[in-house]
Each structure stands twice: as C-alpha cells, then as structure tokens.
Amino acid sequence: MSTATSPQGPNSGEDHRRLQKPGRDPHLFRPITFRGVTVKNRIMLSPLCEYSAIDGMPNDWHLVHLGARATGGAGIVCTEATHVSAEGRITAKCLGLWNEAQRDGLARIVAFIESQGAVPAVQLAHAGRKASIHVPWQGSGPHAIADGGWEVIGPSALAFAPGHHVPRAMSHEDIARVTAEFVHSTKLAREAGFKIIDLHAAHGYLLHEFLSPLSNQRNDGYGGDLAGRARFLLEVVAAVRTEWPAELPLFVRLSCTDWVEGGLTMADAVEISRMLAATGQVDLMDCSTGGNDPRQKITPGPGYQVRFAETIRREAAIATGAVGMINTPDLAEEILANGRADLILMGRKLMAEPSWPLLAARALRSDQAWPVQYERAMLS
C-alpha cells in the first residue's frame, strides 16, 4: 500500500488553485493507493441501506444520495448493501445487482461519482436469515411469504430472533449456488465500472452468520472451529477474485465482535483477518461490529469501534477502515495520524451532512478542491 498524488477530476485545476491558500497536510486528506486505485483522501461513505429500490433497480434516489456524497468531497463513495440475488435481499425495497438492467442503472451512477473525482465502490451482500423483512419505517418485522415475502436460508436452522423466519439450513449445493451468485454480481460490478468491492461479512448477514458460533452450528466442513466457519467467506473471496481484476481492490466488512457471550470475539476477528491477509486477495478490513444477535450489549460513543480497526491493523498486518461515530475532523485526524486505521468510514454523519468532507478540509486547513458550482461557499 502506498500513497500517490490525488487524481484530477473535471472539477479540479487552475480555477481552484487561485482560491486556495497555503495549508497543512492533514492525514485525512492525503491520497492513498490500493493496488491500481488511488483515492484522493481517506474518507469513505459507509454503505447505508436506503430501502428505495424496486425489484432491486437503482433510481434517481440512489443517484442523488450517492452523487451528493461525491460532490461533497468523499474519496470513496460506496453503495448500500447491494444484493447478489432476490432471495438475498433484506427487504423487497433493497438494491440488487443480479441482472443487466441493474448493472446499467448503476453504471449511470458510477459515471457521475467518477466525474466528481471520487472512487465508486459497491458492497455485495446476501442477507441470509435476516432476509424477507419489512422496511424500517414499517417496523422491520418478518415479511410473510403469503404477503410477498420469501424463503430464507442460513448456515443452520436458527432464527435471528423469536418470531422471525427460521432459515432453511443450506446444503452444499446452496453454498455453491450462492458463491456463484457473488461471482456473477462481481462480473456485473466490473462491467458497471465500480473500482472497489466491499464484501459484506458483518451485521448478521449471511457471511457473518457462517462465521459466528451463535448462528452456525453445522457439523460439516463449513462449521465447527473457526477455520471451518470461515471456509465459506474464504471461498467467496477466492471466487470473486476470478472475476475481479488484479489491479482493483477488494475490501471485507467484518463484525469484529458479536457483543454476546459465546459469539465472535476480537481474537476471532484478528484470526479471520490473518486468514484473509494470507490469501493476498483482500486489501482492507472494514471493521464494524454486532448485528447477529438481538441480545448484544453495545455502549456506543465517539470512536467506540476504532480499537477493533487498530488491533487488526497491528496484529493481522492488513490495512483497516474505522467506522462508528467518528463525527469530528479532529477525531478522524487523530485516528489516522496515530496509525490506528487507514480509512475513515462515515455513515450517519455523511447522511446528515453530505458536504462534511469539504467542511472538514477547511477546518483542518487542507488544500482540497471544491466543485466549481460550490466555490461561493468555500469561505462562508
């Protein structure tokens, strides 16, 4: 991993330099390179489910949502969880990438993100046993099959919570089929023009379900000890790499603890990260937590998950992204300056303030180009 000069987009150049004053060189706004992709700063839009698609298709909402974060200065703009099959969706309103129409709809958004000098990323996901629920503003309860829901699958026949769908335990044929679906979605992502894939192995969705002993009680080669439980994830990574070019980066979002006794631990997360690092196929661990068991006990606060990114970076020798209530420029800068992570992922803060990166650059006195259309706001 190395740094390089920030790529120049159509809104860069002399028109910006005339407005800039000599500034500092904060870590938050230093470029970073993963394989053949250079990112202009260390800010990544965290995947944020919008529950606004129809039949998995992106629409103007997705263009505006993702486009605003690109014009707002984020270095990497990532889609929400984008599902590899209709069966794998969290809700009937979730985004998908399993057909060419979805690919073409996303390609339009990718082109706009890139036109603003940001790097387009896609999170590929399968919801597993947490599929077929209603959207949050309708309560997030189970979506009954009789009412348009669908059968859900998982590593074992264990429901996420009382009253939720009991998944059908996946056969080896199911595992092979879902792996192939990840590969097909990867091909479509490449054709759409995405430059980074973030595989979703967190928050209680399918790949995380296999990793956690709370949801995986299999007695075959995909269960048992940590190596068995990690087998599916490792196979998906290897399969995705057959369609994802060597010059493009692959991230993995990992829940680094289940926050429940008997579940995944920090030590497990380090070992999983070591396994992935050893493959030479994964470039960054996107370090989140929780989501696999409603009994979890979390005490959130500013930067409360940073220690997971810091530990994995140090002990697994792989780049990491930190996420979770990193809401101020000073906190983000401290994390990077002290080598606790390589990227800062922001979700709710960027949801509320799409131009947070531009404002953070001003606060840290960094020479960052603003879109020419917004230059009048630079000194306001």
Q: Domain-by-domain residue ranges, the chain?
A: 14-377
According to the model, what pLDDT value does residue 1 have? Answer: 38
According to the model, what pLDDT value does residue 6 have? Answer: 34
According to the model, what pLDDT value does residue 23 have? Answer: 57
Say whether 9 sits in a helix, a strand or coil.
coil
DSSP state of 27: G
Return the structure tokens found at 103: 């690919």
The active-site residue, picked from 205, 222, 304, 374, is 205
Q: What CA–CA distances, in Å, run from 312 to 67, 226, 256, 339?
A: 31, 17, 9, 12
Q: Position of tokens 């790529």?
A: 7
**What pTM was computed for the model?**
0.93
Say whether 147 sits in a helix, a strand or coil.
helix
205 is catalytic: yes
Please name the amino acid found at residue 179.
T
Question: What is the full per-residue pLDDT of the chain (380 aa) written as tens digits?
Answer: 333 333 333 343 333 333 334 458 999 999 999 999 999 999 999 999 999 999 999 999 999 999 999 999 999 999 999 999 999 999 999 999 999 999 999 999 999 999 999 999 999 999 999 999 999 999 999 999 999 999 999 999 999 999 999 999 999 999 999 999 999 999 999 999 999 999 999 999 999 999 999 999 999 999 999 999 999 999 999 999 999 999 999 999 999 999 999 999 999 999 999 999 999 999 999 999 999 999 999 999 999 999 999 999 999 999 999 999 999 999 999 999 999 999 999 999 999 999 999 999 999 999 888 999 998 888 76
CATH of domain 14-377: 3.20.20.70
